[in-house]
Every structure is written in structure tokens, then in C-alpha cells.
Structure 1
Amino acid sequence: MQTTIFNTPVITPVLRLIARLLLKLHGWRVVCDRQALKLKKYVLIGAPHTSNWDGYYFILAALKLGLTPQWMGKDKLFRFPLGSTMRWFGGIAVDRSKANNLVQATVDKFNECRSLIIAVPPEGTRGRGERWKTGFYHIARGARLPVVCGFINFRKKELGLGPVMGMGENLKMELARIRDFYRDKIGKYPEHFTPPA
């Protein structure tokens, strides 16, 4: 397993205490579906994703909950001088310009590991897009794993893990279920949110 901010000996326990303090100072509450905490492997949706602040709060919440997630980001984020730092924060570089089979590679990674959480921001960008990217769904189906709805709600100053959802064969129906959950979750810039469709 890759050494990250979430599992570095000595440092991570200290960071967990700092994360709790920062969340309290910011006035944010972390809520969690308890079923999600029992799972060792799942695909974690990260939405709404409308600001760089989402990542900051995501890290604080993951530290508080004792999670060890990894996340996918544009390969540009992983270039010198910040590459090693981004990896330490749990990042996995993704080259979107190449026609590589990211879904299958991620499924294979899940199959190799006894414990793995991969966070996927299905909006793909902080600006408003046409629709969600459905890689999270195909990864979950391919690896036979559930999806957990990670969320942030700036209006309520609340974030955490929502329901655990098994993904059925009908993508349209699954997106409708997910859309219902995110209906009242408000990003920092609501006008930039791309709803599941």
C-alpha cells in the first residue's frame, strides 16, 4: 500500500487531531453512514466538486474518520515540484489525453488489494459540465464493489459519507438514485455543479 497522509506512522495520528480541531474551528460537521466505515473496499464518489476547497475539507474529513482513500487527478498536478506531495496526499495521476483503459486498470488494482478506497469526482472538473463521467459506475460493476456517496454541503457546513449503494445493471436508474441523494447537497459555487444525468 502506498504511504500517504492517511497512513504515515507517527505523523497521521497527529494530523487526525489537527483535522478534528480545524473542522471544529471552521464550524464543519462530519456525518457518516456507519455501514461505509465497515467496508474495506469501495468506490467513493466525491461531489459536488465546484472548488479547490472541496479537497481540503475532504482530507480533513478522511483524517477524522480514519479513512485511507486515494483519489484520481490530472497528471499535470503530479509534475515537479508537487508530484511527490500530491502522491503523499493520496493522489493517483491520470493522463486524460491517452486512450488508456483506466476503468480496467482500476478494477485490476481493486482485485489486487485487500483494502482500497478510490475517490472519484465524477464531474471531472470544478466548472459546470454536460454530465457526470460514468467511470465510477463501470469500476464498481467491474470490481463487484459498492459505491459510497461522499459529499460536501457548504450551505449546512456538513460533509462525509452518505449511503452505500450496490450498482445494478441499469446505469440510468443508478444515476437517478444518486441524483436523489445529491439533490440537496450544495457546493461552494452551486452554479458550477453538474448533476448526475
Structure 2
Amino acid sequence: MQRTIFDSPILRHILPGLGRLMLRIFGWKIEGEFPDLPKYILIGAPHTSNWDFPVGIAICFARQQKVYWMGKHTLFWGPLGPIARWLGGIPVDRRKSNSLVEQMVHVYGEHERLVVAIPPEGTRKKVEKWKTGFYYIALGSQLPIVLGFIDFGRKVGGCGEVFYPTGDIEADMAKIRAFYAPIKGKNPENQ
């Protein structure tokens, strides 16, 4: 993976304080801890607004967590491209029918430590059901799924339980969705 902000020794010491300051200014709190695991899939839900990103980044900064994230390929064009990559962004071109699941399983297999945040909605718009790629990446990589959340209703974000997929996607998704049921996105009408 490319270098990120936490690869810089100076920023590694400045960013946690900056993340905590930003959360405090805007009235946010962190609940739960990032698990001490070398590799996992981090669900980022609900994803209903562009504001999810700065809140999520501030939480990662505050907890000194190196988390990669997948974003629409157009975010990586122009002058913002290097910044997005530096912040841990991985461009995804949704116009092409490529096996993103297989690619990510391969990427996880090549790294000793890797956390990728994936929004299961795949967009900020309202969707009828979640995309299941995150589940199949976890299953194919034999990795846990960490239930990360940003609750605009309570102004709290962080990590919930560590979930190990069983292969019974219907039962597993029901459990995962039950965890997110009380959590409110910035635009709850898009959940």
C-alpha cells in the first residue's frame, strides 16, 4: 500500500491531538476501541453524507489508527488525488466490471497489517440493500469484520463488536444490520 499520514514520524505525533481537538470543537465523542488485530474489514456505516469522511478521519487520527478506505476513482483525479491517497484512499472504478472482492482478498493476503474501511451502502444515496463485497472479502480472507459507526443522532463514532462471518450471509447480515438499526446517519432518509 502507498505511504500514508501515519508513516511520517512528525505527523504521527501531531495528528492524534488534532483529531481530538476537531472532535471536541464539533461536540463528538468516541465509543469503543479499535481492536488490536493486524488485519480486518472495518464497516463504515451508515454512509449518508460527505461529513462522514472528516468525522471518520478525526476518529482515526485521535486513536492513531492507520485505516485505508476505498473511494470513487474520480476523487483521485487532479490536485486532490495525492492528498486522498496520502489519507489512505484506494481508488475504485465502479464503471468497470472487475472482481473487486478477489482483488482485495489478494491485497489482504500480501500484507501483514491492513485495515480497510468499506461503506456497505457503496454510496451516500439511499439504497434498498447493502452491497455484500465487504462480507465476501472478509470471508475470502478469513478475516473479522469490525462494526465501525458514525452516529449523528448522538454525535458519537467508533467501533462496535468484532464480527466473524460464518458463511451464512443471510443470518450474518441480519445480525450486522441489527447492530446498525439504532444508529442515525447525518441524512437518515438515505439509510
Separation of aligned partners in 2, 1:2 and 1:92: 9
Structure 2 residue corresponding to 1:175, chosen from 158, 173, 176 = 173
- For structure 2, the 5+ residue unaligned runs are none
- Identity, % of aligned positions: 46
- Aligned positions of 1:54-93 closer than 5 A: 54-93=52-91
Match status 1:121 vs 2:96 = no
Separation of aligned partners in 2, 1:8 and 1:171: 39
Separation of aligned partners in 2, 1:120 and 1:109: 14
What does the per-residue CA deviation read over 1:24-69, in whole Å, with 9 as the maximum and x for residues that have no partner?
1211110114xx4211100000000011110000000011111101
Q: Note the C-alpha offset of 1:100.
A: 1.0
Under a length normalisation based on structure 1, what TM-score does the superposition of the two structures give? 0.94
- Aligned positions of 1:32-181 closer than 5 A: 32-33=32-33, 36-181=34-179
Residue type of the alignment partner of 2:83: T
Separation of aligned partners in 2, 1:45 and 1:105: 18
Under a length normalisation based on structure 2, what TM-score does the superposition of the two structures give? 0.97
Matched with 1:3 is 3
Separation of aligned partners in 1, 2:49 and 2:5: 21
Matched with 1:18 is 18
Separation of aligned partners in 1, 2:140 and 2:64: 26
Mapped contact 1:153–1:187 kept (Cα < 8 A)? yes
Q: Note the C-alpha offset of 1:12.
A: 2.6
Match status 1:28 vs 2:25 = no
Root-mean-square deviation (CA, aligned residues, Å) is 1.0
